[in-house]
Structure 1
Amino acid sequence: MNAFSLRRLWAIVVKELRQLRRDRLTFAMIVGIPTMQLLLFGYAINMDVRHLDAAVLDQAHTRNARELVAELAQSQVFDFRYRLDSPAQIDALMREGRISAALVIPRDFERRLADRDRAAVQMVVDGSDQVVQQAARQLAGLSVTTLLSPLHAAVPQGQVEIVNWYNPQRRAPLNTVPSLIGVILTMTMVLFTAMALVRERERGNLEFLIATPLSPLELTVGKVLPFVGIGLVQATLVLLLGVFVFDVPVRGALADLYGAALVFIVACLALGVFLSTLAKSQFQALQLAFFTFLPQILLSGFMFPFGGMPRAAQWLAELFPLTHFIRLVRGIVLRAAGFADLWRELAALLAFAAVMLTLATLRFHKRLD
């Protein structure tokens, strides 16, 4: 056996560095992944809840009521975008996902302030979102009178009554289990599709398919269609475990839930197909899948409060399919919402799927040329 040689070792190191320099995608991942993680965790991820969309139902119409709303708005926790006239409007806006909370000021607000024997105001919150519950609990610890400049008397706390809709027991699985359907599908569908198509190309099987009369669109759709069934099986498995193990209720229609899951699966598969046209090897496909999965799980509102992110991060999150599917699945499963209530999120998923399929087909045709 030859003795260890630094010269031969250095030759191997130089070879690998040159190979890495020629592999532009892997080199970009080396720089891009840590940069993306640093920016996401250091800038976009913020545990402080801010700018939650909210509504006000002011039945008192007094100076103190208006001052209370103004003081709460200055805290920047809630953005009171809607002024309502009836309690029925709260249910409609919350079911559509347009508000996370609603401040209800009763007609006898002034008398409640004077008596101090019961809650002066009521905060109705979307209990399907733990972040909103956390913000509401912080608000419940305040005394309403300390927020009103003319009334700085020492008054017991607890003057804000919190009403949790859709999750009165404040159980964490009701928030996390439905969202896990989207997280699991994002990870598996994108990865499986991208790696499967790249593997076919590495083995030379695509050359045989190219010789057939199949068009690029037919070939693309035909390769990913079996994964639609796999995705529906995974969604069903997570849903059954959620219902029977974690006692998660399904309040909406199953047809709406599976329809949303089907559109989301198509969107994920379209992304996977597009990534397969960029990758030259299965390792690169794995890198690209991870590169798209990380920002989705961090910015979608699954792990960190969406309202605490800067506006630029929220705009970026709106481009990801997982953000819209989490809103869809929480709305259908927990708030009994339908497509009529959540059509914006469904339209965003359809648009994403259409764009990714178009780009993938164009790039696939280009590679064939």
Structure 2
Amino acid sequence: MSSLSLTLYHIYALIIKELLATLKDPKSRVILIVPVLVQGLLFGYTATYNLEHVPYAVVDEDHSHESAEFLSHLDGTGIFERVATLSSPQQISQVIDNQQAMLVLTIPSDFSKNLHAGKTAPVQTITDGRNPSTAGLAAGYVSSIATAYNQKRSGQQSLVEIRSRIWYNPNNITRHMFLPSLIPMLALTQVLILAGLSVARERENGTFDQLLVTPLTPLEILIGKAVPPILIGLVQASLMLCLVLFWFKIHLVGSLAVLYLTISIFLVSCVGLGLSISAVAKNMQQVMVYCFLFLLPMILLSGLATPIRNMPPVLQYITYINPMRFAIEAIRRIYLEGAGLSTVAPAYIPMLALAAVTLPLAAWLFRHKLS
């Protein structure tokens, strides 16, 4: 056999060996198939800016046949769903703040009078600028419905006029919504990987067994492994915050202390997940694969880029176990709306619940796998 043939034979044998080693391992087979299916389905259902459901509220000060007719055009689209009929403009802030309504329509008391006189009849729309992409789309839908209503009524296009206002982001700048949301996302990526690698690296190097024979208790080891990734995550979040504040000039409306409290609680829940991954994984390569498997779904299901209300109902329920969803909601409200601790505190409950499950789970896995 020539030298070239022998080299090719060695390469062929090595390729077959690696393929068999990968495909015979059940965990490897799952890793090859499941991420593709999960990520493909998530991208297909969540990565969309098309609005299929717009919950809205209305302040009808006219209470006329014309105003009811105009609102029926919205309700008849199948996209707009009236979730509240308000009696005064003072109630608008409540339905916008708690995200009950994406859009509020205000019909003035002279709406029908202006229509009958052939004058312009303004209708005000107030949208939630904390998500400017959907706010702009919703306002655009209302404008197109108003145009169709004008043409049906008189063939004119200037009777009903939509005048839009955007709360919390008046200029509808996407950066104002997106950049503060990157603070927890970047921290999540760093903390999950660092916490995941902490134990796997020591196990691979053979030093974790030495750590277990020291006088340190499992709880002390767990805390010692958890604190460094949290501190690094806080530093990274601080760098991103400085970039948002001083480079992009996006003003923080709320409290800096509440913002950091939210980030800290979020990082605790992330480090518990990372340590659980590290306890399950056999080596650092598996940790990286598992982290990637968790990261992309957590980001897609967080509402970072696309609104959660656009997702199918099943995925909306799944988002309740995603700590990043609640971190992003809380940070956006603190940053853009100026929400206080009492307002965002309910978002801490799911994050603390995840930490209460994953941190003890990681400690149990350490003892179980190494006992």
TM-score (norm. length: structure 1) = 0.91
Change (3 A) 1:82 1:100: same
Equivalent of 1:113 in 109, 115, 118: 115
In structure 2, distance between residues paired with 1:164 and 1:71: 22
Q: Select between 109-118 and 182-191 the one with higher mean Cα deviation.
A: 109-118
Q: Select between 252-261 and 2-11 the one with higher mean Cα deviation.
A: 2-11
Q: Select between 158-167 and 133-142 the one with higher mean Cα deviation.
A: 133-142
What letter is aligned with 1:37?
Q
Change (3 A) 1:131 1:16: same
More helix by percentage: 2
In structure 2, distance between residues paired with 1:159 and 1:340: 39
Q: Select between 225-234 and 299-308 the one with higher mean Cα deviation.
A: 299-308
Q: CA deviation at 1:122?
A: 1.1
Give per-residue Cα distances to partners, 1:26-79, cap 9 Å, x unaligned.
Answer: 322111122122212234433311223332222222333333333313334443
Task: State whether residues 105 and 123 of structure 2, in contact with CA within 8 Å, keep that contact through their aligned partners in structure 1.
Answer: yes
What letter is aligned with 2:204?
E
In structure 2, distance between residues paired with 1:274 and 1:36: 21
In structure 2, distance between residues paired with 1:116 and 1:345: 50
Task: State whether residues 120 and 159 of structure 2, in contact with CA within 8 Å, keep that contact through their aligned partners in structure 1.
Answer: no
RMSD of aligned residue pairs (Cα, Å) = 2.4
Q: CA deviation at 1:127?
A: 1.1
Structure 1 counterpart of 2:31: 29
Change (3 A) 1:59 1:283: same
Task: State whether residues 264 and 321 of structure 1, in contact with CA within 8 Å, keep that contact through their aligned partners in structure 2.
Answer: yes
Structure 1 counterpart of 2:21: 19
Give per-residue Cα distances to partners, 1:183-239, cap 9 Å, x unaligned.
Answer: 111211111110122101111221122113434333222211122221111111111
In structure 1, distance between residues paired with 2:80 and 2:65: 20
Equivalent of 1:222 in 221, 224, 233: 224
Aligned runs of 1:150-169 on 2, under 5 Å? Answer: 151-156=153-158, 159-169=161-171
Structure 2 counterpart of 1:9: 11
Change (3 A) 1:231 1:29: same
Task: State whether residues 121 and 159 of structure 2, in contact with CA within 8 Å, keep that contact through their aligned partners in structure 1.
Answer: no
Q: CA deviation at 1:150?
A: 7.7
Q: Figure out how many residues of one structure are paired with residues of the other and give that number.
A: 369
**Structure 1 SS opposite 2:299:** helix
Structure 2 counterpart of 1:323: 325
Aligned runs of 1:1-369 on 2, under 5 Å? Answer: 2-5=3-6, 6-115=8-117, 117-142=119-144, 144=146, 146-147=148-149, 151-156=153-158, 159-369=161-371
Q: CA deviation at 1:21?
A: 3.3
In structure 1, distance between residues paired with 2:338 and 2:94: 11
Change (3 A) 1:275 1:117: farther
**Structure 1 SS opposite 2:163:** strand
Task: State whether residues 51 and 138 of structure 2, in contact with CA within 8 Å, keep that contact through their aligned partners in structure 1.
Answer: no
In structure 2, distance between residues paired with 1:29 and 1:361: 25
**Structure 2 SS opposite 1:214:** coil
Task: State whether residues 102 and 135 of structure 2, in contact with CA within 8 Å, keep that contact through their aligned partners in structure 1.
Answer: no
**Structure 2 SS opposite 1:82:** strand
Task: State whether residues 183 and 241 of structure 2, in contact with CA within 8 Å, keep that contact through their aligned partners in structure 1.
Answer: yes
Q: Which runs of 5+ in 2 are unaligned?
A: none
In structure 2, distance between residues paired with 1:248 and 1:112: 41
Q: Select between 98-107 and 164-173 the one with higher mean Cα deviation.
A: 98-107
**Structure 2 SS opposite 1:156:** coil
Q: CA deviation at 1:163?
A: 0.4
Task: State whether residues 49 and 131 of structure 1, in contact with CA within 8 Å, keep that contact through their aligned partners in structure 2.
Answer: no
In structure 1, distance between residues paired with 2:10 and 2:28: 25
In structure 1, distance between residues paired with 2:309 and 2:215: 51
Give per-residue Cα distances to partners, 1:89-126, cap 9 Å, x unaligned.
Answer: 22133233343221222222212433564453211111
**Structure 2 SS opposite 1:48:** coil
Change (3 A) 1:99 1:358: farther
In structure 1, distance between residues paired with 2:188 and 2:240: 13
TM-score (norm. length: structure 2) = 0.90
**Structure 1 SS opposite 2:237:** helix
In structure 1, distance between residues paired with 2:223 and 2:81: 44
Change (3 A) 1:47 1:219: same
Query: Identity of aligned pairs, percent?
Result: 31
In structure 2, distance between residues paired with 1:29 and 1:271: 18
What letter is aligned with 2:337?
R
Give per-residue Cα distances to partners, 1:252-282, cap 9 Å, x unaligned.
Answer: 1111111111111111111111111221111
Task: State whether residues 252 and 338 of structure 1, in contact with CA within 8 Å, keep that contact through their aligned partners in structure 2.
Answer: yes
Q: CA deviation at 1:81?
A: 1.7
What letter is aligned with 1:4?
S
In structure 2, distance between residues paired with 1:186 and 1:360: 18
Q: CA deviation at 1:366?
A: 1.7
What letter is aligned with 1:198?
A
